[in-house]
Amino acid sequence: MSGMVGMVERMEDEVSPMTALAVAIVAVSTSAILIELSNAPSIVKALYRSLFTTLLLAPFAVTRYRDDLRTFSRRDLLIAVVTGCALAGHFIAWFESLDWTTVAASVTLVQSQPLFVAFGAWALLDERVTRKTMVGILVALLGMVAMSFGDFLSPATVAGQRPLYGNALAVIGAIAAAGYVLAGRSLRQRVSLIPYVTVVYGVSTVVLFGAALTSGAQVSLAAYRPTEWVLFLGMAVGPGIFGHTVINWALKYVESSVVSVTLLGEPVGSTVLALVILGQVPGVATMVGGAVVLGGIYVASTGRESQ
């Protein structure tokens, strides 16, 4: 684990932000598959992903970044708390959506966040979104619609008990994720990576723990087979450390609108993995939509060079 954290630390000097984002896309693409493979309640999966990620990072935050943690201003700490709450809201809505709709639809719709990020970056962070970046966002979102449309026409959609409900939850998850990205973009300009994500993940864990305790259903927090615990840990190491943590590192160097639209590659990766591992076969419209999403990512990413 120390090697993984050391690698993240060395990214400051050795890895370009766009390369780091490419690694993060691959990592977060595994998230929906790991969630689907687990039989635990969605709130439990979200809780342990957040908890294990926090536990993996906390020792390094305390030993190597103790001074950074002490210098957190009240304002920065408040922003980190808000960011952690937004992350918890994203987890709650999105993990639950995967219980009611297919991987392709859920992961695609949860990545509608660029619409909310672009508006928030302009309104709150005074970020200028170039015309080329906006065109890339719109193209990518068009591809997302095509992917969702193809998923609705697929026979696999019948397996979802309440697909419209699941899709609505995915959009709510997208709004929460947009808040998470925007707050992170603001704070990462002045706060070191490891202390920042440790505080954010820690707050998220507390919120998710409270949600699990107050949920209407009888949720067990411990009675799970070893395979479930391996999946929980996998969610923390893959999508957590190499996914969200790398994304938070990139937010210091890359505009939030570009980071957000780059993550639209997640639906493509998740759809491919769902085909290979879960046997969910995407339709033609879904595959064409995935290609359009990648095209939009390229346009938006190159658009940042003119800013």
Q: Return the domain boundaries, the chain.
A: 25-130+157-270
How does pLDDT run along the chain (307 residues), one tens digit per residue? 555 555 555 555 566 777 888 888 889 889 889 998 998 888 999 999 999 999 998 888 888 877 777 777 788 888 888 889 999 999 999 999 888 877 777 787 787 777 677 767 676 666 677 788 778 878 877 877 776 665 555 554 444 456 678 778 888 998 898 888 777 766 766 777 788 888 899 999 999 999 888 876 556 777 889 999 999 999 999 988 888 788 778 777 777 667 767 777 787 788 888 888 877 776 676 678 777 877 877 777 666 544 4
* CA-closest candidate to residue 306, choices 102, 128, 156: 128
pTM above 0.75, yes or no: yes
Q: Residue written as tokens 């994203």?
A: 90
Tell me how far CA of residue 272 lies from CA of 17, 32, 157, in angstroms. Answer: 25, 11, 16
Q: What spatial distance separates the first Cα and last Cα of the chain, rounded to whole Å?
A: 37
* pLDDT value of residue 158: 46
Between the alpha carbon of residue 177 and those of residues 75, 184, 258, 288, the distances in Å are 21, 10, 14, 26
Q: Are 105 and 152 in contact (CB under 8 A)?
A: yes
- CB within 8 A of 117, min separation 6: which ones? 178, 181, 182, 256, 257, 260
Contact between 293 and 52 under an 8 Å Cβ cutoff? The reply is no
Question: Which of helix, strand or coil describes residue 202?
Answer: helix
Q: Any alpha helices (H) in 65-162, and if so which ranges?
A: 66-70, 74-97, 103-110, 113-124, 131-153
Q: Phi-psi category of 257—alpha, beta or left, where left has phi over 0 and alpha has psi -120 to 50?
A: alpha
Distance CA 203, CA 247 (A): 18
**Tokens 């999403």 appear where?**
293
Degrees, nearest 5: CA angle 295-301-307: 140
Residue 53 class from Cβ within 10 Å (0-12 exposed, 13-18 middle, 19+ buried)?
buried
Q: Which residue has the tokens 């591992």?
A: 277
pLDDT of residue 50: 93
